[in-house]
Structure 1
Amino acid sequence: MTDVTVDRDVVFHRPPERESPLELDVYRPDDGGTDRPAVVVYHGGGWIEGEKGQLEALERGLAERGYVCFDANYRLSGEATFPTPVEDGAAAVRFAKEHADEYGIDPDRVATTGHSAGGHLAALVAAADGDFDPEDATVSSKVAASAPISGAYDMRDRTPEAANDLERQFLGGGPDEVPERYERVSPAAHVDSATPPTLVLHGDDDDLLPADGAREYAQALAEAGRPVELGILPGGGHGIVVEPEDWQDRGIETVADFLDRRL
């Protein structure tokens, strides 16, 4: 098994309006390889809490298989509302590409993944196809594949009564106040002929975000003619690849197998 080196607290983004920079951790195979595939990873926490390190089991598992993983923080909704956290997620992809030589990666083989709120970010960055990059960006946050886990994919049909407090805080209001944000934040609204190959991974016993949302997103990708794989893990709850249950290893293996074939 390949040893893994972890570079912690690497600065990847310095927002001008923020006192401290954003940081990420880099998990990389310790064998001096080059032109490796890379994965940018986003943690969960309802966009309001959490930090890098939550998906260490996934990142180590991928790094042992030859991937370089960039585990990125992003500004939470208590600090900044949409689209800022997504722009931070796009910045992490650009950082990986800009430092391809330093970390021995192929900038054309970068994917996104993440869990829960991070799964939403992974899907949105991928489907948006660079839409959250600044105009002066020298590289694009477009990715070659995406594997969102236990995510939310379509908020366009939210009513004021149905929108929960986490969504309202993340988006800066309800669907009656900022309807355009509920549209733009939905990965399903961005699906088109450029959306990269996607694995939609979910547990069928998820009581926080029911698996029907994953099925509907996979259907939207298929209807757009995009390569998509739907992975529904029997017995899996919301904490797939986070909590050490029987299906955690299966979840990690499913992501790794998809990336092996798509990157």
Structure 2
Amino acid sequence: MTTFEFWFWLTAISLTVALCAWQSLGWWIARRFLYSDHRNFLVTQTPADRGINARKLRIELDGPHHLSAWLLSPSQKQSLHGACIVMVHGYDSGKDKVWSYPCDDGYRSSILDQGAESLWRAGFHVLAMDLRNHGESSCNGPVTLGARESDDVLATVEYLTQHADQLGIDPNRIGLRGESMGGATCLIAAAKDRHNRIAGVWVDSAYADAASAILDFLRYKNIPPLFGPPTRYWMVRMASVPLAQASPLDYVGHIDCPVFLTHSTGDTMLPCRHLHSLSDAPHWRRPPETWVLQSHQHNRLWREPDYHDRQIDFFRRVLCRNVPYRRSA
């Protein structure tokens, strides 16, 4: 073997090994992202932990699958004509999960803090659900970043519609509230809502397109962007869903209801450019309202002093026209 042949084959073998390692790590990251266990949480908080009575719901899906949820209902005197908000959590979360961050000492929050309790006290019915593969809902394939999870939201809206009288809900006054992946899921669900049952959507810190969100998440986890392409490739292969189907930017032209987008310039997981990409899209049927906050990290916008009042005000405007105003306690 000549010197040239030696170096040729050594280079070829090295490149092959490097390519296999590159693809293998992408496969491993994608596998962890799509198939990790999101149903067992170290710390949880239920409405009962705060002395609030909640009704447990089980929403049956096709086959053996189901969704778990709880419903907070105001008194008949306080109820805003049966208006109801569906709370949709983000990735690796759930209706009962308590979030904490090592970089944010002392921070603890659940979906109750993010709006469920304040909306309920303002007179709304509030349903908090677990998406498929999360919390107490059943496993149902891989996580799809909103593509199939949006069907869970629509199934929940359908459940509320079919049981409206029993639950004391007005089926014409149903809104969605989602954060992060849950916000993206709500936008996709609103676009797929062929019966116009969704009357308004509040979106907190959502991504505009799944492809760039994956790169942002890898960067947040200090994984080099070099591994973005194989990770995205394997996620598409494993989930059998094109990333475009998990990208709200491709759906906004089909949304008929009012939308409120909020994000923070301090978000290092999903940068605020996602809000601008969504709000600047030219094909909205009606331009969304936007609110850009400063300094808050991901999942923590609710700590802004007037966050809850703004959220309540939005849903009052879109769900409760001609209902007298009563500020929450």
Q: Does residue 236 of the first structure (1) align with residue 293 of the second (2)?
A: no
- The correspondence of residues 107-186 of structure 1 with structure 2, limited to 5 A, is 107-130=171-194, 140=195, 142-155=197-210, 158=212, 162=215, 173-174=234-235, 181-186=242-247
Q: Which residue of 2 aligns with 1:11?
A: 58
- Cα distance change of structure 1 residues 189 and 197 upon mapping to structure 2, 3 Å threshold: same
Say which of 217, 224, 234 aligns to 2:278: 217
Q: Between the two proteins, what is the percent identity of the paired residues?
A: 21
- Gapped runs of 5+ residues in structure 1? 131-139
Task: State the SS of the aligned residue for 1:106.
Answer: coil
Matches within 5 A, 1:88-107: 88-107=152-171
The answer to whether the 8 A contact 1:203-1:237 is kept is yes
**Alpha-carbon distance in structure 1 between the residues aligned to 2:122 and 2:276:** 28
Correspondence for 1:37 = 83
Instruction: Tell me which of 59, 65, 83 is aligned to 2:116.
Output: 59
Q: 1:173 to 1:143 in 2, by over 3 A?
A: farther
Query: What's the offset of the Cα at 1:194?
Result: 4.2
Structure 1 range deviating more: 207-216 or 140-149: 140-149
Q: Which residue of 2 aligns with 1:134?
A: none
Please say if 1:22 is aligned against 2:67: yes
Q: Which structure is higher in helix share?
A: 2
User: 1:137 corresponds to which residue?
Assistant: none
Change (3 A) 1:216 1:126: same
1: CA distance, partners of 2:232 / 2:122: 37
Residues 65 and 202 from structure 1, CA distance in 2 versus in 1: closer, same or farther, beyond 3 angstroms? same
Compared CA separation, residues 163 and 240, structure 1 to 2 (3 A): closer
Q: Do the aligned partners of 2:217 and 2:270 also contact (CA within 8 Å) in 1?
A: no
- Please report how far the alpha carbon of residue 27 of structure 1 lies from its aligned counterpart in structure 2 after TM superposition: 1.3
**Secondary structure class of the residue paired with 2:172:** strand
* Contiguous gaps of at least 5 residues in structure 2: 1-50, 97-109, 222-227, 320-329
Structure with larger Rg = 2
Query: 1:204 corresponds to which residue?
Result: 265
* 1:190-215 C-alpha deviation (Å, 9 max, x unpaired): 12254311000112211111111012
Tell me, yes or no, if the aligned pair for 1:150 and 1:240 is still in contact at 8 Å.
no
User: Could you tell me whether the CA contact under 8 Å between 2:204 and 2:262 is conserved in 1?
Assistant: yes
2:305 paired with 1:259: no
1:14-36 deviation per Cα after TM superposition (whole angstroms, max 9, x unaligned): 44143xx3210101212354732
- The CA deviation string for residues 151-201 of structure 1, in whole angstroms up to 9 with x for no partner, is 11223x559x94867999x98934688896211111121122543110001
Which structure carries more strand by proportion? 1
Distance 1:76 1:172, change over 3 A: farther
Q: Is the 8 A contact 2:87 2:127 kept in 1?
A: yes
Whichever residue aligns with residue 75 of structure 2, its letter is: D
Q: Is the 8 A contact 1:11 1:22 kept in 2?
A: yes
Quote the Cα distance in structure 2 between the aligned partners of 1:40 and 1:6.
Answer: 17
- Cα 1:29–1:191 change in 2 (3 A) is same
Shift of 1:56: 1.0
Decide which moves more: 77-86 or 59-68.
Answer: 77-86
Separation (CA, whole Å) in 1 of partners of 2:254 and 2:188:
15
- Hey, what's the Cα distance between the residues in 2 that align with 1:163 and 1:176? 20
Deviation at 1:70, TM superposition (A): 0.9
Are the equivalent residues in 1 in contact too, given 2:86–2:127 (CA < 8 A)? yes
Distance of 2:296 and 2:70 partners within structure 1: 27
Amino acid at match of 2:174: V
Look up the SS of the partner of 1:238 in the other structure.
coil
Cα deviation 1:68-121 (Å, max 9, x = unaligned): 111011113875233432221221111111121122222112111112121121
SS of the aligned residue for 1:256 comes to helix
Distance 1:76 1:226 in 2: 33
**In 2: Cα distance, 1:95 partner to 1:226 partner:** 27
Instruction: Give the TM-score normalised by structure 1.
Output: 0.77
The aligned length equals 238
